[in-house]
């Protein structure tokens, strides 16, 4: 699991400036994840061989009332989720009473905390630091987030205890079966669905829960086929902790998406699609994961409501129309069994291998059906196609002047490949290369 760094401090000390720098380093794989909560922003970054996740918190003014109190709560939640806290203070304004209030929070919290003094550009470091020793959080570390001064060295040190890990590492092998992640915002019915999936007839749940990994795994077998549920809802633990609701964790959700082969994203027919759903979906798409959509709580809706809901979802989720869409009731078990064939199909498509011959034939058929346009009097030529990767599948198309291919033509090709190869449930990526 990525180490998680929370940026904490009062407003205007430079948290978002630092966030941007940390998530936009040259080789960073940025996956911004705004809006899942109102005030926290998530991003991934990379330094050398190490990757990390950064949370930019709303900011704590130390004097919380009303909206500030809500923001402070967000910050405290972010601190909870983090492995490391970078507590930012402002060298220009010097020590502020609010800094002391935050320092008190942090001392109680006992998270590994670094005291970071920002905006030291143009200041003499030694005297700029002097004030901040009083916070009792150890050595103040001077940086200038806006200019990058000392930032890399600081992060390098912060990450020293954590091992190297490849950001885009594929999920673990499939020996134990397809890994299914059930994801979605709080209260959409994830744990009800997980219990339903596991409670189905002919499902055997193995008891040695794999708590070895960060996300809790539940291995099981259905009709003789093995699967692993990657549990973000904390279902396993709820059983023991007398149903105490697990706190929804974005970090766990992001981790589960990375750790699964197929994500079942649960939506709530009662509340309809909300922005959080779209952000989460965006994130799934950016990771290239295979996906099945389940609109839950379909029970007890009037047919008029159903029609409206169905139309709304189809329209707004057009960008994810490669995913099978199911209308289910986790509570009553309606249509829950139908999720399995979709999961199987999505996994198969995501990991399929096609020969260069087959792909080239599809390409040539598509081209003779509908020629690419002329550019400066010369026809764009598309010669051959091969598979450049899987999960998600990548199709590499070779030809001449491919950089001039209009978007509409690319879409035509994409759709043709999808249709002929019968790919459902996974995103597909296309690369176009020009050469001799």
335 makes contact with ligand GDP (CB under 6 A): no
Query: How many residues of this chain interact with ligand GDP, rule: CB under 6 A?
Result: 32
Does 14 bind ligand GDP (CB under 6 A)? Our answer is: yes
Q: Does 330 bind ligand GDP (CB under 6 A)?
A: yes
Question: Smallest Cα–Cα separation from 432: which of 224, 411, 423?
Answer: 411
Binding mask 348-367 for ligand GDP (x = CB under 6 A): --------------------
Q: Which of 109, 176, 187, 249 binds ligand GDP (CB under 6 A)?
A: 187
User: Residue 342 interacts with ligand GDP (CB under 6 A)?
Assistant: no
Q: How far is CA 287 from CA 325, 344, 376, in A?
A: 19, 19, 37
Interaction of residue 329 with ligand GDP, rule CB under 6 A: yes
The one among 29, 30, 95, 331 contacting ligand GDP by CB under 6 A: 331
CA separation for the pair 384, 378 (Å, rounded): 18
CA–CA separation, 244 vs 266, rounded Å? 21
Whole-Å CA distances, 272 to 278, 283, 293, 325:
11, 19, 13, 14
Asked whether the beta carbons of 273 and 313 are under 8 A apart, the reply is: yes
Comparing CB distances to ligand GDP, the nearer of 80 and 166 is 80
Among 2, 3, 5, 17, binds ligand GDP (CB under 6 A): 17
C-alpha distances in angstroms, 243 versus 109, 145, 208, 234, 236? 25, 44, 20, 10, 10
Q: Does 113 bind ligand GDP (CB under 6 A)?
A: no
148 annotated ligand-binding residue:
no
Q: How far apart are CA 210 and CA 299, in angstroms?
A: 33
Q: Which residue number, 195 or 434, has a Cβ lying nearer to ligand GDP?
A: 195
Helix residue ranges, H only, 131-209: 151-159, 190-199
Between 49 and 88, how does the x/- string for binding to ligand GDP read (CB under 6 A)?
----------x-----------------------------
What angle, 0 to 180 degrees and rounded to 10, lies between the N-to-C axes of helices 151-159 and 15-23?
Answer: 70
Residue 428 beta carbon to ligand GDP: minimum distance, rounded to whole angstroms: 29
List Cβ neighbours of 227 (8 Å cut-off, separation of 6 or more): 177, 178, 179, 180, 219, 220, 221
Rounded alpha-carbon distances, angstroms, from residue 77 to 13, 58, 103, 241, 270: 20, 11, 16, 21, 27
Cβ 65 to ligand GDP shortest distance, Å: 19
186 binds ligand GDP, rule: CB under 6 A? yes
- Comparison of 9 and 181: residue with beta carbon closer to ligand GDP: 9
Q: ω into residue 392 within 30 of 0, thus cis?
A: yes
Could you say whether residue 396 binds ligand GDP (CB under 6 A)? Answer: no
Do the beta carbons of residue 268 and residue 296 sit within 8 Å? yes
Structure tokens at 216: 């809790």
Q: Is 121 in the site for ligand GDP (CB under 6 A)?
A: yes
* Nearer residue to ligand GDP within complex by CB, 144 or 367: 144
Minimum Å gap between C-beta 180 and ligand GDP is 15
Q: Which residues are at the interface with ligand GDP (CB under 6 A)?
A: 9, 11-17, 59, 118-119, 121, 144-147, 184, 186-192, 233, 296-297, 299-300, 329-331
Q: Which residues are annotated as a binding site for GTP?
A: 9-16, 56-60, 118-121, 184-191, 231-235, 296-299
């Amino acid at each position: 699991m990525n180490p998680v760094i929370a940026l904490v401090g009062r407003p205007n000390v430079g948290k978002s400036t630092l966030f941007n720098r940390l998530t936009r380093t040259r080789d960073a794989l940025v996956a911004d994840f705004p809006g899942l909560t109102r005030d926290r922003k998530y991003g991934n970054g990379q330094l050398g061989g190490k990757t990390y996740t950064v949370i930019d918190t709303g900011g704590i003014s130390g004097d919380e009332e009303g909206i500030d109190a809500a923001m402070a709560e967000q910050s405290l939640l972010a601190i909870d989720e983090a492995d490391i806290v970078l507590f930012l203070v402002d060298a220009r304004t010097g020590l502020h009473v609010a800094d002391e209030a935050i320092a008190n929070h942090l001392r109680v919290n006992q998270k590994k905390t670094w005291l970071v003094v920002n905006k030291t550009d143009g200041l003499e470091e030694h005297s700029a630091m002097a004030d901040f020793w009083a916070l009792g959080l150890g050595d103040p570390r001077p940086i200038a987030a806006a200019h990058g001064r000392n930032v890399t060295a600081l992060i390098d040190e912060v990450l020293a205890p954590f091992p190297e890990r490849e950001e885009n590492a594929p999920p673990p092998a499939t020996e134990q079966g397809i890994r299914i992640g059930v994801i979605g915002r709080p209260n959409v019915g994830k744990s009800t669905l997980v219990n339903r999936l596991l409670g189905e007839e002919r499902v055997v749940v193995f008891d040695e829960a794999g708590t070895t990994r960060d996300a809790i795994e539940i291995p099981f077998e259905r009709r003789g086929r093995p699967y692993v549920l990657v549990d973000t809802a904390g279902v396993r633990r709820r059983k023991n902790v007398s149903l105490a609701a697990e706190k929804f964790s974005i970090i766990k959700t992001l981790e589960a998406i990375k750790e699964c082969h197929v994500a079942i994203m649960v939506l709530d027919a009662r509340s309809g699609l909300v922005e959080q759903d779209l952000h989460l979906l965006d994130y799934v798409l950016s990771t290239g994961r295979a996906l099945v959509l389940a609109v839950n709580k379909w029970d007890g809706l009037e047919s008029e409501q159903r029609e409206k809901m169905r139309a709304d979802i189809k329209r707004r989720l057009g960008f994810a129309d490669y995913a099978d869409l199911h209308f289910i009731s986790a509570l009553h078990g309606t249509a829950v069994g139908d999720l399995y064939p979709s999961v199987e199909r999505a996994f198969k498509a995501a990991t399929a291998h096609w020969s260069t011959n087959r792909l080239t034939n599809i390409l040539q058929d598509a081209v003779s059906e509908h020629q690419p346009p002329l550019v400066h009097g010369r026809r764009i030529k598309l010669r051959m196609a091969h598979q450049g990767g899987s999960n998600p599948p990548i199709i590499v198309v070779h030809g001449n002047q491919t950089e001039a291919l209009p978007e509409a033509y690319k879409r035509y090709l994409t759709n043709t490949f999808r249709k002929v190869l019968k790919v459902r449930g996974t995103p597909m990526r296309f690369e176009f290369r020009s050469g001799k």
